[in-house]
Chains A and B, each alone.
Chain A
Amino acid sequence: MRRIFDAQLVGPLAAMLLVALVVAMTTDRFLDPGNLANLALQVSIVSLIAIGATVVIFAGGIDLSSGSMVALLTMILATVVKTFGYPLWPTLAGVLLIGAALGALNGVLTAFLRIPSFIVTLAGLIAFRGLALMFNNGSPIFSLDPNFEPVFYGRLFGIPLPFFYLVVLYGAATVMMNNTRLGREIYAVGGNPAAAKLSGINVRRVQTYAFTIAGLMTAVGSILMASRLNSGSPNYGQTFELQAIAAAVVGGASLIGGRGNILSTLVGALTIVIVQNGLNLHAVPSAVQNVVLGLIILIAVGVDMWRTEIARSIRRLSGLGKRAAGATQPGPSSSGKTTTGNTTTGKAVAGK
């Protein structure tokens, strides 16, 4: 449990709260319960897919195929339920299995056939949407099942169900990354595959599991997507893979692998959606919004890449200040204080 609240989460969380504060102060509708609930619904599907995207990033890979996989899985779901008339609930279980299998396929191609995951999942990005278009002559399938919509729109104690999906699945992902052997092995493989192999970790199997988890989470997202619109369409899920990666990156996951906190991805997704909401409330045109989003991703990654340099220059600046202060006002009490301050900073930087 020691890694849930750490430096990796605190930074993005602080950034998100700052953004939320700015939006709340400059608009009057942001804190409206209706607006917040709407935000939660808006962010939920991509956030769930982002769990898988993040796990793959932790393992040192990248998954570009999730958006197209959403299209394919909603079309499979719709065809089975609507065209073949199969019952809904077993079909959902089947969709989860197919998603996991497609993820495992990505994993096997990457880990065992040693094709870079960028290429494997780029092929998936193109091919899965092509497969989705082969169903129903490429047309969407509507009105699947009246019992399906509550999966997304239902409420428990007045709170929309997707909120609970987020809590449960991010909770499970956090436990997996921090408390299970697989989670530790995923970090190890992403951090240093050679050392992982020499430690007796089955690197290929771990990579395959990471992609399988990604496929499973994409299937969860696909089911919610189909439920939300009570339909399946080969056009669903476009750019979801990029939004999921953006959430992970804004949350501070390192694309080199091995570093990051899975909860930060949720924070990253929320940050993005809050910014979008703020811009909407200020009636900023969507073209400008996209530019702003691009800048946010650049800044988030830049801060992550230059974190050590930034910390060093802050230390140097504070050191200069300290020395200047010491020259004018030498006193044991002031130097004692500075030392304590430095120790705390050091810990925060060093801690994972």
Chain B
Amino acid sequence: MHVSDQPLWDIDAVSKAYPGVQANDRVSIQLMPGRIHGLLGENGSGKSTLIRLLSGVDRPDSGEIRLKGRAVSMASPTEARALGVATVFQEFSIVPSLTVAENVFLGRWPRRAFGLIDWDTMNSRSRDVLAELDIELDPEAVTSTLSVAQQQLIEIAKAVAAEAQLIILDEPTTALGLDEIAQLHALLRRMRDKGHAILYVSHRLDEVTALVDEVTIMRGGRVVSAAGNTAVQVDAIVSAMIGGDVREHYPKICNVTSEVVLDVSGMSSAKGARDVSFTLHKGEVLGLGGVLGSGRTEIARALFGLDPIVAGTVVVRGRRLQARSPADAIAAGLALVTENRKTDGLFFNFDGRSNISSASLSRFSHFGFLDLKREERESARLAQLLELSRGAEDKSVRHLSGGNQQKVVLARWLLSETRVLILDEPTQGIDIGAKLAVYRLINQLTAQGCAILLISSDHDELLAMSDRIAVIRQGSVTDIRAPNELSHADLVRAATGEDTIQGRKVA
């Protein structure tokens, strides 16, 4: 076993800003050879940015990155790879139609004369790499025939074949089962013992504590607990991740009534919602808590008529809803603000006004003709209500900021007289001012009697803005509680795979 005191990679006070957000603020972290280093933090804490800087995707605005004591500057992922950094992202960079060996040597295939690929060398060297890692795979098997876990192993074999000294894994286990996770961890431990440095990013605390040698915890773009200061222990990590009590930053107003507007019972969809039951009251905000991929978005899609419902019932304001398309759901008073406003929310070929009116065209038309004056009047009213930037209605939404774009999407559903509004990560990627505007809007809407289903991975936001919280795991509601019976720590635990939620009674 090879251990040295000198860090392999020394990240010294690097900062990186993206428009509207300081993603990394003087972040320092040392990666030692022969150590597995855990990097933890909630969504938006700056972990991904740090990975991007280390793997040459982005360059820091300031600060220094040193390899074995020597300052380096990486202008591209290729340069980072040449310096021995291999990053395994959540999305694999594997070509399914190629063989295992071809993937292991992707882009660096050994050649013979005339540029022909030297298949024998490639296959035998792949066999050596796989054997070294105790991975039982046929180098000549076609990758698409393998399981997700096996494909993940190929990614790591690829890193080893490229003689990477630092291996970065970003949420490597989201798609893996328990056995496969154990197999992956055994492999990582062997690589550690061979002297590799490993940076391991995960949401699953149980897993991290079992694997890593040290942890760095990030919050709001900064390192809040450096390696060595944090014990590798769930409770210590959770309290460092949460930080101070931030509930008072949220302008929550409670408008809950006793009138049920949405009653879902035993609903299962063809794509991931399983036996979901809950009720939603007029003026209520029901938060859906859970990790990415827990099935919250799938529940929203089923309600909105995007995925077929195979069992159970959905009743909106006393009427059974069998939505076979979003049009049916909209007619019943539902609205869905999706997570990706850029891909399926906004019309970038339209100005703000046409974006706002796109779900209300039937109300604005008589015998097929649009009442453009009324469209202009009503969208102007909403622009004012939402404090949209001046002139946004006449500008292409391409030229609007993220916050204003989100307001445009929200305005669309205010205009369509929504009774039940589903918000999927409504404050993702927008600045704090626009976030506050969204919170105020949630209050306004509930005051008018609109009911809201709030999906958010920002636990502070979820706890502060919800009247009740449903914890979602694997497509099902596992528990519904009032936010004051749940602590942030409970949510983190529930979301990261610990089975029991210890409710804390506030008397």
Contact = CB atoms under 8 A, between A and B. Distances in A.
B326 A195 contact: no
Interface size class of B (residues with CB under 8 A): 35 or more
A191 interface: yes
Contacts, number: 91
B365 A181 contact: yes
B350 A350 contact: no
Interface in B346-364: 346-351, 354, 358-359, 361-362, 364
A198 B344 contact: yes
Nearest to B366: A181
B396 A192 contact: no
A196 B361 CA distance: 11
B431 interface: no
A117 B124 CA distance: 47
B258 interface: no
A195 B346 contact: yes
Contacts of A201: 327, 358, 361
Interface stretch (A182-190, A212-220, A225-233, A241-249): A182-190
A1 B347 contact: no
A38 interface: no
A2 interface: yes
A351 interface: yes
Given A194-B344, A350-B395, A199 B359 contact: yes
A199 B412 contact: yes
A79 B229 CA distance: 91
A2 B369 CA distance: 15
A185 B349 CA distance: 12
Contacts of B331: 200
A202 B331 CA distance: 13
A187 B350 contact: yes
A191 B349 contact: yes
Contacts of A179: 369-370, 372
A198 B345 contact: yes
Most buried by A among B347, B369, B372, B396: B347
Contacts of B217: none
B264 to A, nearest CB: 20
Contacts of B374: none
A198 B326 contact: yes
Contacts of B370: 179-181, 184
B385 to A, nearest CB: 20
B399 interface: yes
Given A184-B361, A350-B399, A351-B394, A197 B326 contact: yes
B363 to A, nearest CB: 10
Contacts of B279: none
Interface of A: 1-2, 179-182, 184-185, 187-188, 190-192, 194-202, 257-259, 350-352
14 contacts: A179-B370, A182-B368, A187-B354, A190-B349, A191-B347, A196-B347, A197-B326, A198-B306, A200-B359, A201-B358, A202-B325, A257-B349, A350-B395, A352-B350
